[in-house]
Chains A and B, each alone.
Chain A
Amino acid sequence: MSENLIEVQGLTKKYGEFVAVNGIDFHVRKSESFGFLGPNGAGKSTTMRILAATSRRTSGEVSVLGRDPEIHGPQIRAHLGVVPQEGNLDVQLTVTENLYIYGRYFGLSSKFIRSKIDDLLEFAQLEEKRDTKVDALSGGMKRRLIIARSLVSDPDILILDEPTTGLDPQARHILWDRLFRLKEDGMTLLITTHYMDEAEQLCDRLIVMDKGSIMSEGSPAELIREHSTREVLEVRFGSEQNVRMAPAMEKFCDRIEVLPDRILLYTEDAEAVLEEIVGAGHSPKTSLVRRSSLEDVFLRLTGRSLID
Chain B
Amino acid sequence: MTLLGTTRKVPKFGARYVLESQIRAMLKFFWLIAAMAILNPLLYLVSFGIGVGSLISQHIGPHGIDGVSYLTFIAPALLASSAIQSSMDETIFSTLEGFKWRKLFFGMNATPQTGNTIAGGVFLAAMVRTVIGVSVYSAILYFFGAMNSPHAYLAIPIAIFAGASFGAIMLAFASHVHNEDLFLTIIGRFLIGPMFLFSGTFYPLKSLPSALQIFGWISPLWHATELGRYATYGHQISVTMVIIHFAFLLVMLVVGLFFGFRQFSRRLAK
Contacts and interface: CB of A to CB of B under 8 A. Distances in A.
A76 B4 contact: yes
A84 B10 contact: no
B95 to A, nearest CB: 15
A120 B113 CA distance: 22
Interface string A65-102: 11100001111111110101010111111000100011
Contact of A55 (B1, B25, B107, B270): B270
A4 B1 CA distance: 9
B1 A84 contact: no
A69 B20 CA distance: 27
Interface string B104-118: 101111111110000
A135 B106 CA distance: 19
Task: Give the dominant DSSP class at A's interface.
Answer: loop
A82 B108 CA distance: 10
Contacts of B1: 3-4, 63, 66
B28 A101 contact: no
B97 to A, nearest CB: 9
B17 interface: yes
Contact of B106 (A63, A84, A154): A84
A79 B112 CA distance: 9
Contacts of B7: 79, 154, 156
A104 interface: yes
B40 interface: no
Given A75-B10, A104-B17, A90 B25 contact: yes
B8 A79 contact: yes
A90 B102 contact: yes
A280 B268 CA distance: 62
A283 B46 CA distance: 89
B269 to A, nearest CB: 6
B111 A78 contact: yes
A104 B21 contact: yes
Contacts of A241: none
A106 interface: yes
Contacts of A74: 10, 14, 112-114
Nearest to A150: B110
Which interface residue of A55, A65, A154 has the most chain B CB atoms within 10 A?
A65
B103 interface: yes
Nearest to A4: B1
Interface string B1-18: 111110111111010011
A66 B18 contact: no
Contacts of A52: 110
Contacts of B4: 65-67, 72, 75-76, 79
A107 B14 CA distance: 7
Given A75-B5, A106-B11, A153-B111, 16 more contacts: A54-B106, A72-B4, A79-B4, A79-B8, A80-B110, A88-B103, A90-B25, A90-B104, A91-B102, A93-B25, A101-B24, A105-B18, A106-B8, A107-B10, A107-B12, A107-B17
19 contacts: A3-B3, A5-B3, A56-B269, A66-B4, A74-B113, A75-B112, A77-B109, A77-B112, A79-B4, A79-B8, A88-B103, A88-B107, A90-B102, A90-B104, A93-B25, A101-B20, A106-B11, A107-B112, A154-B7
